[in-house]
Amino acid sequence: MKTLPIRALLPGMVVEEPVYTSSGQKIVDADTTLTSEVIYRLSFYSIPSVNIKETDAESDNDNSAASIPNPSRASNPSYSQKIKAQPEFMKYQIEYTKLINSIRKVFDSVINHPELPVNTQKILDEFKALISMCRTTVDLLDKLHNMRLDDDSVYAHCLNVALLSRVIGKWLRFSPEERNVLTLCGLFHDIGKTSIPDEILNKPGKYTDEEFVLIRQHPLFGYKILKKLSIDERIKKAALHHHERYDGSGYPQKLEGVDIDDYAGIIAIADVYDATTAARSYRSPLCPFQAIAMFEKEGLQKYNTQYILTFLDRIASTYQNNRVLLSSGQSATIVMINSKHLTKPMLQMDDGSIIDMQAQPDLEIVKII
Ligand SMILES: [Fe+2]
């Protein structure tokens, strides 16, 4: 057995003993093989070090497999595996975890000490440092999709929505100042969920009618927390309006169109996209093309037309030239996005043939590979 600090852990290593948080909660079992997600979880709970099994080259648990590519295993790594294998991904995970902890502290301060000024600049600086670790928007989205974890905390969701909202702001050519406000709208949009007991918020299975009513009040709870603060009014409105829909089908006030704050309209799109592309206990994460199909099925009239069309078009374009898995079980490469039918691009099959997905209504893209 050897004791290693978190920064020295690698996927493939095997944990010798169970790992507990300082409050006694078990977060990793003995004999767990480390993955990026498990290492992230350890980092998230600020575990300083972990006891790792000593192995040798003959062992089934040879840790060297984590750093020395095994040709048979690495011959066809998935898209996700390729991203997670990048050395910078681990650094990104650590910064992401630090930022989640900062958001937690800011929320605690805002809730318990509303009289204190909110240092939005500090959190924006940390946020920008995280973004600067992504080379391109595609890289940022790739990292975001691969940070999906068991940890479904409000803080992680707020961070993801802030990242996505900032990207949408860029696609909409917002000024740097506007993008900063939009980022803060995302960071604070679900602060009202902290007013709901964890056992209800994280309850597996269906909510009771009373629980459902309570959860749908979180925009009001959030607004109540934020309204006392001297921060931009758009941040407060985003918390209050992010579940309103342009056709009046949202909540809590059933507002329509122009009555919904513009920035809240962007947060709404980022919020739904993050929720659909995250894994849930009752379903696997949807791939970006399934998320686009879901937006189209639910009805684009629920959103600001310019915002939703720009968002879906840019998300689909992000995956041009990517390899994908189809509902038929075949794999293919996206060669051209069809701007009129974003979920039905032209594909090049593995035998070299080209197919137009529009001609095959039942065929779906189910995974980026
Ligand atoms: Fe929400």
Distance CA 160, CA 70 (A): 33
- When the candidates are 3.65.10.10, 3.20.20.70, 3.90.105.10, 3.40.50.2000, the CATH number that belongs to 2-62 is 3.90.105.10
Distance CA 310, CA 325 (A): 25
Task: Report pLDDT digits (tens) over 108-154.
Answer: 999 999 888 898 999 999 999 999 888 888 788 888 877 765 456 88
Segments making up each domain of the chain, as ranges = 2-62, 81-285, 287-369
Residue 65: the pLDDT is 32
Least confident of 38-47, 217-226, 243-252: 38-47
Beta strands 49-52 and 2-5, pairing class: antiparallel
Distance CA 334, CA 347 (A): 5
- Full DSSP string of 206-273: PPPHHHHHHHTTHHHHHHHHHTTS-S-HHHHHHHHHTT--TTS--SSS---GGGS-HHHHHHHHHHHH
**Residue 103 C-alpha to ligand 1 middle, in angstroms?**
16
Both tokens of residue 330? Answer: 């075949």
Distance CA 238, CA 262 (A): 9
Name, in order, each residue with C-beta under 8 angstroms of 243's C-beta and a sequence gap of 6 or more: 216, 219, 250, 251, 252, 268
Residue 158: the pLDDT is 94
Per the CB < 8 A criterion, the answer to whether 296 and 214 are in contact is no
**Residue 219 C-alpha to ligand 1 middle, in angstroms?**
6
What integer is the mean pLDDT of 331-354?
92
What is the band of 344 on the pLDDT scale with cuts at 50, 70, 90? very high
Task: Report pLDDT digits (tens) over 217-234.
Answer: 999 999 999 998 999 999
**Residue 156 C-alpha to ligand 1 middle, in angstroms?**
13
**Residue 59 C-alpha to ligand 1 middle, in angstroms?**
48
**Residue 199 C-alpha to ligand 1 middle, in angstroms?**
17
**Residue 218 C-alpha to ligand 1 middle, in angstroms?**
7
- Secondary structure of 258-284 as H, E, C letters: HHCCHHHHHHHHHHHHHHHHCCECCEC
Which architecture, in CATH terms, is 81-285?
Orthogonal Bundle (1.10)
Give me the amino acid identity at 360.
Answer: Q
Name, in order, each residue with C-beta under 8 angstroms of 195's C-beta and a sequence gap of 6 or more: 218, 221, 222, 225
Beta strands 346-349 and 331-336, pairing class: antiparallel
Q: Over the range 324-336, which residues count as b (16 or more CB within 10 Å of their CB) and which as e?
A: bbbeeeeebbbee
**Residue 240 C-alpha to ligand 1 middle, in angstroms?**
9
The percent of residues in the chain predicted with pLDDT above 70, rounded, is 86
What is the band of 319 on the pLDDT scale with cuts at 50, 70, 90? confident
pLDDT greater than 60 at residue 72 = no
- Full DSSP string of 292-327: HHHHHHH-GGGS-HHHHHHHHHHHHHHTTT-EEEET
**Residue 36 C-alpha to ligand 1 middle, in angstroms?**
28
* Among the listed residues 155, 137, 178, the one whose alpha carbon sits nearest the alpha carbon of residue 96: 155
**Residue 291 C-alpha to ligand 1 middle, in angstroms?**
18
Per the CB < 8 A criterion, the answer to whether 72 and 35 are in contact is no
Distance CA 110, CA 94 (A): 24
Distance CA 134, CA 120 (A): 22
Distance CA 294, CA 285 (A): 12
Q: What is the pTM of this model?
A: 0.77
**Residue 338 C-alpha to ligand 1 middle, in angstroms?**
32
**Residue 11 C-alpha to ligand 1 middle, in angstroms?**
33
**Residue 193 C-alpha to ligand 1 middle, in angstroms?**
7
Task: Report pLDDT digits (tens) over 268-308.
Answer: 999 999 988 876 655 567 889 999 999 999 889 999 999 99
Residue 34: the pLDDT is 76
Tell me the range of 50-59, 88-97, 116-125 where mean pLDDT is highest.
Answer: 116-125
The percent of residues in the chain predicted with pLDDT above 90, rounded, is 51
Residue 298: the pLDDT is 87
**Residue 212 C-alpha to ligand 1 middle, in angstroms?**
13
- Full DSSP string of 150-202: S---HHHHHHHHHHHHHHHHHHTT--HHHHHHHHHHHHHTTGGGGGS-HHHHT
